[in-house]
Structure 1
């Protein structure tokens, strides 16, 4: 028993140490349950929060002894108790004794020490009773709300904070341990028990419970500040940042954000608390926090309540909201840029950042290098952000910055209109129309012709700032998110069924409804359109008809019949094929003939297939001639590619093989022949016998395929090498190395198709080597379209050249291509290029692996 009189601090320390040591000796050696209970009861008065819970030590110096026990002995005593956990030792206590004398040391002591001891034990223990007991204590720790007490205790640590508000050296290590243990607890437990744990340790349930504990702590902080008492939110901010950095921001803010919205709407002090929590997160975590908030906040006005003017004093926050989230990131949701720009424009102190961001966005948007090397999604995101900025400009800002904005627009329009992508050109047109309409409200407006679809409509809607959805809408969304998945699915299914029934009832026609018009229309389905022009029967007549520029019917009829006449293979086709291709190449659709492009292309392909030598010489020579436009050169490439593919396909056999198939007989005859009837009867019997006979070995049951000559092999080189030789030639009407990169890309695609069509020809290897040399020369081309064409060419080489040649003769070239493709996967700014490079690497690896496996066998 303790004697309070005349006891100094040194004696108290000695007495506490002696009591703890004696109790540990009893707990470690005794097998009597009553002795064990008495040993724990002697220590229990020293436990913080249990000062008056034991009547056996009324004269104990509670204050100094409890402080001494908590500072010097509590952690070691918990570690000692954990070391004693076993089925035999814990079985000596009754259930109520375990809760009253044993569990209380972990649940009602110093919470952060107890939590760290339990987490450390679970981490370093193997599956056993000790591990299960610690998991059970951790579960009780969470369910009884001890986590909120732990966090609140850290908020009350003010004496150990420096003048700048950061934690001192004394608490830096402790806080780091706590933050790591709290955030990684579900992962650590899952790794230890392999999923056989309580549901409260599942990530979603755990972090939802942790969000509730954080809200409880914030309410306590609010009450403390309201009572004019000091409090710190540093630990809460760091914990929030670590949670978001570890990927659990969505779960946490799904619970917290609706409460933040409601609380900040009525109390300015709550806005200060929320702002301090969010902005006070570490710099490395701030991006993860803001990323989730920007996606979840339904209206930019809430951003103003949560952040205030913290943007002006926090450089990291300023950089993220005005630079990284607008220029370097890409979001599919329009809500993100709307929240950012709306937040900047919502206060007079921040409005200057809207104009500054708009100028920066226009500089990046109009940069020619950015237009070429960024993906379409990224560029569309920049366009959306620019339109949102325009919607927030007031009249004074429009007048003051009109000339600068118009100058930036004009410099950017040139890059967009020169882009080979239709979507990029349309983005430039929409932006130009919107900017001139915003800045020139009364003057003439720009107007472009582009396809009006859902995307363009949504872009124009961004010019109008969104309205406040109101508290009811936010509350409604929260309720919907809290519904179970099965209930939501059942409601959606029932609603869909009701809508389908209603639609079916509305769309059911009335059978008894009579028409006001009793006249029946004539059947004109079999009517044939008559023409006064005679259809050409010879190719020369067809060429003359194509020359008839003033006779629509003759030109249309000649064009429709051109392919048929060419494929009929007349004897004089080789004499007129070049003239026919020349007429078709220069033919223009002045009469707006239906399917003009398809008919013209088909006729040119047919002529190339029937006369491959003359046609290939003509196309490859004319491709590098001066007197053609881009469209005509693209037509030449398309014809060469289509003809090569058709020539590489075998012709269909129309004559049946003798002795393998007999002609079919009619089932009835006017005068049957007895010999034929007998033969027919024998065939039927023979088929039945064959179907009932089981053979263990037999020859070929189906006829062997008839070998057919490869039509493309003799002329493959004529399609390939003349087209390849002058790719770097520069002339006034074509510069493929320069501005006409579209032609270069199409030529690479054509060369790849030609190589693939010649895969069974002996010349294929030589063509592949030449094509790989060209790829190596152009591998660092700045245009995305050219790089994609280069990867297509490499893939065609891999698929066309025999695999044994790839690993032997072309081993060096394939290794260089592999390194180049890996460099594209890791460094190319375009998403599609990276994907194509990865696919090409997979094809190369599959072919090489298959060949190596075949050699090993």
Structure 2
């Protein structure tokens, strides 16, 4: 053995002298490179060296050989190498030898000032692209690393996990794409999977393997904050492979068991976010929570009670994992007890953020939903104590959100606990009408900047969120006693703005912020004309038209189901004069605003099932005041008529209102010709155009049902 060592040492030393000599012939240099290559794996068929000599070279001389090559990058002979010679003589020395030593030398050379940087970067890139990381990991799995030591492992792990940072510091702004975190860490994950695949094959063949280094690599990159891209690649693959393969399950479980304790939290939290279901996480992790104290702490305490940044999906994964195995279910009960105590703790309710309380509430309800009836009976007294104490703690809070959270959790938890079928039911939204009443009567006693706009925005928001009770209250109060004309006009404006809010798609919804709300001007004839013109343009068919805006995505109309609550109550008492309110008499300003608001409700109800009924009622209402002396009222009547023609289905318009249409057409013609107000004449002309379009459509297809208004 000593003779083999001496012989290899002498040959290698002679090669080094040749490479380092400035007067050496290029032929001697090429021979020296061939000799060094013969000691690597691809020289196994050569008769110039034995297996023992190759092993000695790999163990003792390989790293020094690479450093000599790096030091000679500025030598004349390196520049005389052709591309083919580099590929055959120089590159293989970095790509065919022990991958751990090669990677360390390459990263050391790339990250420090050295000659031939481009050459080193290219070889490093080929090293990564050629699957050498998988070879490196596999060599540690087999225990075949020539010079393995704790110091070597730690250095290699540090360099491997920080490779993107090391190369970026040296190569910026000319870093290679493969060295960026977005490319390198998914590549490293794929190489770890390849090493695990080789491990599974070896185990089937009866070969023992170690996953310690792979687990250390996984833990290191996750600890440094790269669990997302790594486990996004590994988790789906592990979930598939462990579905029916027991060997893969053993390998996956052992991989996580060997993760260092200080890295366990980073790996598990990343895996929880990457796993697509509790079953997938269970197959990958096995009973790790029962065998590893750090894993138990993370999964049963820290993720549930100390952190609240995760999505609800992560909570479902954790709790579903605990519930999916008989041996782990005692931990689910333990978790439910600790979470319920945290939820009911008065100090926690007072001093923890509302987001964390919502997170704990979700965990409590999800855990309770996973209990069997027998487990629920066992925990009934604990849960009842939690329910009573927790609700009291939440209801004592001054924050509306905390109180609401207590009511919702109490409602859901009582429904889960009570096996007899009875449950608590709370009215969480019953304050909307009271708030609207307060706002309607509120006065600006303290000269608040933007008071009117803010008050209006709040009432619009309440009406849009809780439409039916608030609308019923406002429409009733409109005809009540002891209201000023200003308050009645406020009611109409709030209803109009809320109806517009509800009719908009969710993506285009106008928020209730003060900057987003402006009182609509019902007396603006220009605004009416623009609206009617817009609808006429939409109904007019053209042979060609320039490119317009992209179509908005389909979204439900939230106004259509509640349109009747806005519309019909305002038609009930208009002809009953009160002591302080005479709609058909002196209060014609409110009458004009009312008619315009009803026309707006009609306009927004296009395609709603109730549109035909609303149109018939609106025409009956405005017919009595069509010759009103105030032009504001006449404009409102004409706008309402236009809205009926625009929003009612053509078939319903012709069939239900056929008798009124001829008389309406005659009246519109008279207004268009003789009304003293120019705006009224223009609106009458537009109404005639709409009516003629509907008549023409029905005459062209008298038996067809039109689905368009």
Shorter-chain TM-score bucket reads: 0.5 to 0.7
Q: Does 1:347 align with 2:325?
A: yes
Structure 1 CA distance for aligned equivalents of residues 4 and 423 of structure 2: 89
**Counterpart secondary structure, 1:441:** coil
Tell me, yes or no, if the aligned pair for 2:39 and 2:49 is still in contact at 8 Å. no
Structure 2 CA distance for aligned equivalents of residues 39 and 418 of structure 1: 85
Tell me, yes or no, if the aligned pair for 2:239 and 2:281 is still in contact at 8 Å. no
Given the superposition, is the C-alpha separation of residues 31 and 293 from structure 1 closer, same or farther in structure 2, using an over 3 Å criterion?
same
Given the superposition, is the C-alpha separation of residues 414 and 525 from structure 1 closer, same or farther in structure 2, using an over 3 Å criterion?
closer
Given the superposition, is the C-alpha separation of residues 436 and 527 from structure 1 closer, same or farther in structure 2, using an over 3 Å criterion?
closer
Compute the displacement of 1:149 (Å): 0.6
Tell me, yes or no, if the aligned pair for 2:387 and 2:410 is still in contact at 8 Å. yes
Structure 2 CA distance for aligned equivalents of residues 352 and 105 of structure 1: 57
Tell me, yes or no, if the aligned pair for 2:98 and 2:145 is still in contact at 8 Å. no
Partner of 1:414: 392
Partner of 1:11: 3
**Counterpart secondary structure, 1:449:** coil
Structure 1 CA distance for aligned equivalents of residues 64 and 120 of structure 2: 16
Partner of 2:579: 532
**Counterpart secondary structure, 1:89:** helix
Given the superposition, is the C-alpha separation of residues 497 and 253 from structure 1 closer, same or farther in structure 2, using an over 3 Å criterion?
farther
Partner of 2:486: none
**Counterpart secondary structure, 2:173:** coil
Tell me, yes or no, if the aligned pair for 2:131 and 2:191 is still in contact at 8 Å. yes
Compute the displacement of 1:383 (Å): 0.1
The correspondence for 1:79, drawn from 67, 70, 88, is: 67
Structure 1 CA distance for aligned equivalents of residues 27 and 415 of structure 2: 89
Structure 1 CA distance for aligned equivalents of residues 64 and 405 of structure 2: 67
Structure 1 CA distance for aligned equivalents of residues 394 and 50 of structure 2: 79
Given the superposition, is the C-alpha separation of residues 279 and 426 from structure 1 closer, same or farther in structure 2, using an over 3 Å criterion?
farther
Question: How do 1:429-440 residues align onto structure 2 when only pairs under 5 Å count?
Answer: 429-440=407-418
Tell me, yes or no, if the aligned pair for 1:48 and 1:110 is still in contact at 8 Å. no
The correspondence for 1:363, drawn from 334, 337, 341, is: 341
Question: How do 1:23-422 residues align onto structure 2 when only pairs under 5 Å count?
Answer: 23-29=15-21, 30-53=23-46, 58=47, 60-86=48-74, 88-125=76-113, 128-129=115-116, 131-157=117-143, 171-422=149-400
Compute the displacement of 1:295 (Å): 1.6
Structure 1 CA distance for aligned equivalents of residues 310 and 123 of structure 2: 44
Tell me, yes or no, if the aligned pair for 1:158 and 1:232 is still in contact at 8 Å. no
Compute the displacement of 1:278 (Å): 2.5
Given the superposition, is the C-alpha separation of residues 117 and 292 from structure 1 closer, same or farther in structure 2, using an over 3 Å criterion?
same
Given the superposition, is the C-alpha separation of residues 158 and 12 from structure 1 closer, same or farther in structure 2, using an over 3 Å criterion?
closer
Compute the displacement of 1:350 (Å): 0.8
Partner of 2:461: none
Given the superposition, is the C-alpha separation of residues 21 and 426 from structure 1 closer, same or farther in structure 2, using an over 3 Å criterion?
same
**Counterpart secondary structure, 1:276:** helix
Instruction: Note the residue ranges of structure 1 that are not aligned, 5 or more in a row.
Output: 1-8, 161-168, 454-495, 508-520, 535-857
Compute the displacement of 1:189 (Å): 0.6
* TM-superposition CA deviations, 1:400-453 (whole Å, max 9, x none): 121122112222222111000111111111222222211212154222221399
Compute the displacement of 1:314 (Å): 0.7
Tell me, yes or no, if the aligned pair for 2:227 and 2:266 is still in contact at 8 Å. yes
* TM-superposition CA deviations, 1:178-214 (whole Å, max 9, x none): 1111111111111101130221111111112111111
Compute the displacement of 1:35 (Å): 1.5
Given the superposition, is the C-alpha separation of residues 208 and 87 from structure 1 closer, same or farther in structure 2, using an over 3 Å criterion?
farther
Greater alpha carbon shift after TM alignment, 137-146 vs 44-53: 44-53
Given the superposition, is the C-alpha separation of residues 199 and 290 from structure 1 closer, same or farther in structure 2, using an over 3 Å criterion?
same
Partner of 2:464: none
Tell me, yes or no, if the aligned pair for 1:344 and 1:350 is still in contact at 8 Å. yes
Compute the displacement of 1:533 (Å): 6.4
Number of residue pairs the alignment of both structures matches: 455
Given the superposition, is the C-alpha separation of residues 502 and 320 from structure 1 closer, same or farther in structure 2, using an over 3 Å criterion?
closer
Compute the displacement of 1:65 (Å): 1.6
Partner of 2:543: none
**Counterpart secondary structure, 2:225:** coil
Tell me, yes or no, if the aligned pair for 2:112 and 2:170 is still in contact at 8 Å. no
TM-score, normalising length from structure 2? 0.60
Given the superposition, is the C-alpha separation of residues 150 and 410 from structure 1 closer, same or farther in structure 2, using an over 3 Å criterion?
same
Question: How do 1:548-567 residues align onto structure 2 when only pairs under 5 Å count?
Answer: none
Instruction: Note the residue ranges of structure 2 that are not aligned, 5 or more in a row.
Output: 433-547, 559-567, 582-709
Structure 2 CA distance for aligned equivalents of residues 89 and 205 of structure 1: 35
Tell me, yes or no, if the aligned pair for 2:29 and 2:77 is still in contact at 8 Å. no
Tell me, yes or no, if the aligned pair for 2:272 and 2:318 is still in contact at 8 Å. yes
Structure 1 CA distance for aligned equivalents of residues 360 and 555 of structure 2: 41
Structure 2 CA distance for aligned equivalents of residues 124 and 186 of structure 1: 15
Tell me, yes or no, if the aligned pair for 1:238 and 1:281 is still in contact at 8 Å. yes
Compute the displacement of 1:36 (Å): 0.7
Tell me, yes or no, if the aligned pair for 1:264 and 1:305 is still in contact at 8 Å. yes
Tell me, yes or no, if the aligned pair for 1:418 and 1:425 is still in contact at 8 Å. yes
Compute the displacement of 1:52 (Å): 2.1
* TM-superposition CA deviations, 1:615-657 (whole Å, max 9, x none): xxxxxxxxxxxxxxxxxxxxxxxxxxxxxxxxxxxxxxxxxxx
Compute the displacement of 1:16 (Å): 1.5
Compute the displacement of 1:360 (Å): 0.5
Question: How do 1:411-810 residues align onto structure 2 when only pairs under 5 Å count?
Answer: 411-442=389-420, 444-451=422-429, 500=552, 531-532=578-579
Given the superposition, is the C-alpha separation of residues 399 and 501 from structure 1 closer, same or farther in structure 2, using an over 3 Å criterion?
closer
Given the superposition, is the C-alpha separation of residues 426 and 253 from structure 1 closer, same or farther in structure 2, using an over 3 Å criterion?
same
Given the superposition, is the C-alpha separation of residues 419 and 94 from structure 1 closer, same or farther in structure 2, using an over 3 Å criterion?
same
Partner of 1:577: none
Structure 1 CA distance for aligned equivalents of residues 551 and 278 of structure 2: 35
Tell me, yes or no, if the aligned pair for 1:183 and 1:242 is still in contact at 8 Å. yes
Structure 2 CA distance for aligned equivalents of residues 302 and 340 of structure 1: 11
* TM-superposition CA deviations, 1:674-704 (whole Å, max 9, x none): xxxxxxxxxxxxxxxxxxxxxxxxxxxxxxx
Tell me, yes or no, if the aligned pair for 1:48 and 1:70 is still in contact at 8 Å. no
Compute the displacement of 1:106 (Å): 0.6
Partner of 1:20: 12
Structure 2 CA distance for aligned equivalents of residues 21 and 222 of structure 1: 41
Given the superposition, is the C-alpha separation of residues 332 and 17 from structure 1 closer, same or farther in structure 2, using an over 3 Å criterion?
closer
Compute the displacement of 1:381 (Å): 0.2
Tell me, yes or no, if the aligned pair for 1:45 and 1:62 is still in contact at 8 Å. no
Structure 2 CA distance for aligned equivalents of residues 438 and 392 of structure 1: 10
Structure 2 CA distance for aligned equivalents of residues 223 and 49 of structure 1: 24
Compute the displacement of 1:378 (Å): 0.3
